[in-house]
Homo-oligomer: A and B are copies of this chain.
């Protein structure tokens, strides 16, 4: 009973439906998925992949929520923005939900990515397996350091910065990853944007300036650590405060 979870009854469930929308599930309410939901969909997707590998055919919102670390009402509401893909009394078909979430996230098409900066971080990214398996292809890896150019890193070979524009246009690259030191990042960003990149993932510790229509997300180790420090500090302060006064409740 691992697979064989075809949609019961009427709908034949197309394995892959790139463009055309089947009349049945076109019930996207208004097309608008809240940002907070979008941020959680990849987490659900990963949990679903894990379940699928384990051979699970269907999963309840409760189980999936636990696996994803959220509460079940939130998960159901999140999924409801994509459509009504569960079966009451049963749960969600894992494979079908994988497809629907992937489609909602835009992962049914392949995305080409360039990574700029082949330092430690760039290398870590290039070697990170999670890229290819989710529909992201590293079109090129670039660095301004001649000593690095030509080196093979993961599946990519480091190329000189001069190839940035041609690589982007010829591969139709929409996503750029900036893994350079901070001083170089804005200039790199400008070149990416000028070459047509509209989505940027920035690892350099600064605020990038981009024109409207360009989407930037940042990943910043230092910021995450500082947030942790804040909570750690507060924990300590609370403990001291409670111990100092009489502990009312334990």
Query: Footprint of B on A, CB under 8 Å?
Result: 19-22, 25-26, 28, 31, 33, 38-39, 41-43, 45-47, 67-69, 104-107, 109, 111, 113, 119-121, 123-125, 127-128, 130-131, 134-136, 174-175, 198-201, 205-207, 213, 215, 217, 219-235, 237, 247, 249-250
Contacts and interface: CB of A to CB of B under 8 A. Distances in A.
B39 A227 contact: yes
A250 B28 contact: yes
Nearest to A231: B215
A226 B47 contact: no
A43 B220 CA distance: 10
A29 to B, nearest CB: 11
B21 A250 contact: yes
Contacts of A250: 21-22, 25-26, 28
Contact of A47 (B45, B207, B217, B224): B207
Contacts of A109: 233
B228 A201 contact: yes
B217 A227 contact: yes
A47 B209 CA distance: 14
Given A105-B226, A227-B42, A232 B219 contact: no
A232 B134 contact: no
